[in-house]
């Protein structure tokens, strides 16, 4: 046999998903979707390819450079979407009249960015966005945060949502007489956690031309958040600090209202805290901004971030569409959950193998598997005639622990054997009804141990 004609390979920055990872990712997504749906969020989908002019200039010069852009066979200038926000804006501009507001949607789909591949960063990845559009009400902000909270509860991980408000940040800058330097200051503040106070200090001086006194006041302000957990003294102090700024006071009222809704809904105080150093780099946020970290794995950074924006789709429609939303960092979260042992490593979707003891009785063994499926069990058969040893090896490799075996006579009189692959224990001569019961019991025991 000659050498294969083409070397099988994949593009740099892309990856194949093998069954174990695909199963884990798919289960995580299913749990997240269930939470979204329990709040009445509805799914939408949009094309992977859009006219390039729809996508260009919506993120930054950086994202423009990272576009997979080309001329299609009809010489149309097209590109693969680089996020799900711009397609949502285009979608809303076209369909919001029909859909009505407030419109709560989620969208879980791949996006493509031709960026430098790094550890944990790929050129194709799935985004998972959820937004409420068409309302300025802070009730929507609270709902988004409740969804985040519920999502992480459902995934079984301790999390901390850190909440801030751009009005508070800008109100503070207003009180400092530095509102015009908002962008530079927010960008500097954003680096506090990663790079530390010295770097921020230097940047405030070089980029915002802050005096040492102004810089000191910035840190006093940010420190205010360190101990904050939404208690009254914190807000009293914050109000005093921003009393000259109507914008800032508005932001404080919004924060308070959100915290009171969360508290009423049973969100533990530690699960959502005010952190005045959360700025979120993106220019379009105008109110709430938030990030979420895993308490047992803070070093992986935020796994769910977002905020409020004043107008989603101004480039495509004259209808004003304010909204608030967030995005779950699926890849990061999956890696984190795996590290925390929250995702069982499964390489099979079936829990039981019905062995084919004899090629002659294959139809009966296959029928037995089918009958067990009728009782809600997930059952494999080995898809070819083979010795029992090969079938057991297959089950072992796929981590299937229950084997049902029946020879010709057993099948004829409806008696079966169950073998536990882990203990090697075998029970013989079990009738069908007991078989179903015993298999269920077996799987329940196993899930408890996992």
Q: How far is the CB of 241 from its own copies (least distance, A)?
A: 26
Least distance CB 208 / its own copies (angstroms): 31
Q: Which one of the spans 69-77, 180-188, 223-231, 243-251 is the region binding its own copies (CB under 8 A)?
A: 69-77
Which residues between 22 and 41 bind its own copies (CB under 8 A)? 22-23, 26, 36-41
Q: Report the residue from 28, 350, 402, 405 that binds its own copies according to the rule CB under 8 A.
A: 350
Strand, coil or helix: what is 85?
helix
Nearest to residue 148, comparing CAs of 66, 42, 271, 279?
271
Alpha-carbon Rg for the chain, nearest whole angstrom, is 28
Per CB under 8 A, 177 contacts its own copies:
no
Closest approach of its own copies to the CB of residue 345, in Å: 13
**How far is it, in rounded angstroms, from Cα 249 to Cα 246?**
5
Structure tokens that stand for 437 in this block? 């019961």
Site mask for its own copies (CB under 8 A), range 109-148, x = bound: -x-x-x---------x-------x--xxx-xx-xx--x--
- Give residue 217's Cα distance to chain centre: 36
Q: Measured from the CB atom, is 207 or 310 closer to its own copies? A: 310
**Candidate residues 63, 182, 197, 364; the one interacting with its own copies per rule CB under 8 A:** 364
Least Å from the CB of residue 165 to its own copies = 18
Q: How buried is 240 (Cβ within 10 angstroms: 0-12 exposed, 13-18 middle, 19+ buried)? A: exposed
Nearer to its own copies by C-beta: 177 or 413? Answer: 413
Q: How many Å apart are CA 26 and CA 32, to the nearest integer?
A: 10
State which residue, 188 or 372, has the beta carbon closest to its own copies.
372
* Secondary structure of residue 135 in the 3-state scheme: coil
Footprint (CB under 8 A) of its own copies, residues 393-412: 394, 397-398, 400
Q: Which of 184, 249, 261, 421 binds its own copies (CB under 8 A)?
A: 261
CA 116 vs CA 37, 56, 83, 120, 302: distances in Å: 35, 19, 17, 11, 21
C-beta closer to its own copies: residue 91 or 210? 91
* CB closer to its own copies out of 49 and 300: 49
- Among residues 326, 335, 288, the alpha carbon closest in space to that of 310 is found at 288
Cα 232 to Cα 397: distance, rounded to the nearest angstrom? 58
48 binds its own copies (CB under 8 A): yes
Give the nearest distance from C-beta 125 to its own copies in angstroms. Answer: 11
CB of 74: closest distance to its own copies in angstroms?
8
The smaller minimum CB distance to its own copies, of residues 248 and 323, is found at 323
| Residue 237: DSSP 8-state | H
The DSSP output letter for 115 is: P
Close Cβ partners of 335 (under 8 Å, ≥ 6 residues apart) = 120, 300
Single residue of 385, 428, 437, 445 touching its own copies by CB under 8 A: 385
Residue 130 near residue 214, CB atoms below 8 Å: no
Task: Report, in Å, the least distance between residue 242 CB and its own copies.
Answer: 24
8 forms part of the interface with its own copies (CB under 8 A)? yes
- Between residues 18 and 444, which has the closer beta carbon with respect to its own copies? 18
Q: Which among 67, 73, 42 has a CA at the least distance from the CA of 54?
A: 67
| Interface pick for its own copies out of 29, 63, 83, 99 (rule CB under 8 A) | 99
In the range 275-314, which residues lie near its own copies by CB under 8 A?
A: 313-314
In angstroms, rounded to a whole number, what is the distance separating the alpha carbons of residues 202 and 194?
A: 15
Confirm or reject binding of residue 189 to its own copies (CB under 8 A). no
State which residue, 196 or 414, has the beta carbon closest to its own copies.
Answer: 414
Stretches 12-20, 156-164, 166-174, 298-306: which one binds its own copies (CB under 8 A)?
12-20
By beta-carbon proximity to its own copies, the closer residue of 39 and 432 is 39
Q: Applying CB under 8 A, what is the total number of residues that bind its own copies?
A: 113
Q: Strand 285-294 relative to strand 323-328: parallel, antiparallel, unpaired?
A: unpaired
Per-residue burial over 6-17, b = 16 or more CB atoms within 10 Å of its CB, e = otherwise: eeeeeeebeeee
Does position 71 interact with its own copies (CB under 8 A)? The reply is: yes
Cβ 243 to its own copies shortest distance, Å: 25
Show the 3-state SS of 273-311. Answer: EECCCCCCCCCCEEEEEEEEEECCCHHHCCCEEEEEECC
Q: Please, are residues 294 and 300 in contact by the beta-carbon 8 Å criterion?
A: yes
């Amino acid at each position: 046999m000659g050498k294969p004609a083409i070397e099988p390979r994949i593009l740099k920055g892309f990856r194949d998903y093998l069954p174990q990872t695909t199963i884990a990712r798919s289960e995580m997504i299913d749990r997240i979707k269930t939470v979204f749906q329990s709040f009445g969020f509805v799914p939408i989908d949009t094309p992977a390819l859009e006219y390039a002019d729809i996508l260009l200039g919506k993120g930054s010069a950086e994202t423009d450079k990272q576009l997979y852009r080309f001329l299609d066979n009809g010489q149309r200038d097209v590109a693969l979407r680089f996020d799900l926000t711009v397609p949502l804006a285009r979608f809303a501009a076209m369909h919001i009249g029909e859909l009505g507001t407030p419109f709560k949607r989620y969208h879980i789909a791949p996006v493509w960015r031709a960026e430098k591949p790094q550890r944990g960063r790929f050129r194709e990845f799935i985004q998972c966005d959820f937004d409420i559009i068409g309302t300025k009400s802070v009730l929507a902000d609270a709902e988004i945060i409740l969804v985040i909270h519920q999502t992480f509860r459902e995934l079984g991980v301790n999390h901390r949502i850190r909440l801030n408000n751009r009005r508070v940040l800008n109100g503070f800058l207003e009180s400092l007489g530095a509102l015009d330097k908002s962008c530079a200051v927010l960008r500097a503040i954003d680096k506090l956690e990663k790079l530390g106070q010295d770097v921020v200090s230097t940047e405030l001086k070089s980029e915002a031309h802050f005096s040492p006194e102004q810089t000191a006041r910035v840190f006093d302000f940010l420190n205010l958040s360190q101990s904050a957990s939404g208690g009254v003294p914190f807000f009293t102090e914050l109000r005093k600090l921003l009393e000259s700024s109507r914008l800032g006071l508005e932001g404080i009222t919004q924060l308070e209202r959100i915290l009171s809704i969360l508290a009423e809904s049973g969100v533990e105080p530690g699960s959502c805290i005010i952190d005045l150093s959360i700025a979120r780099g993106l220019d379009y946020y105008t109110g709430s901004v938030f990030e979420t970290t895993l308490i047992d794995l803070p070093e992986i950074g935020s796994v769910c971030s977002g905020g409020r924006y004043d107008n989603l789709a101004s480039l495509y429609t004259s209808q004003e569409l304010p909204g608030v939303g967030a995005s779950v960092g699926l890849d990061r979260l999956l890696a984190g959950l795996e590290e925390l042992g929250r995702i069982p490593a499964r390489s099979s979707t079936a829990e039981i193998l019905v062995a084919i003891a004899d090629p002659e009785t294959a139809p009966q063994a296959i029928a037995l598997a089918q009958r067990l499926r009728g009782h809600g069990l997930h059952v494999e058969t080995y898809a070819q005639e083979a010795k029992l040893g090969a079938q057991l090896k297959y089950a072992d490799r796929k981590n299937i622990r229950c084997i049902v075996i029946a020879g010709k006579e057993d099948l004829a009189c409806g008696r079966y054997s169950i073998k536990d692959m882990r203990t090697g224990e075998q029970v013989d001569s079990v009738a069908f009804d007991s078989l179903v019961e015993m298999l269920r019991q077996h799987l329940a025991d196993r899930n408890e141990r996992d």
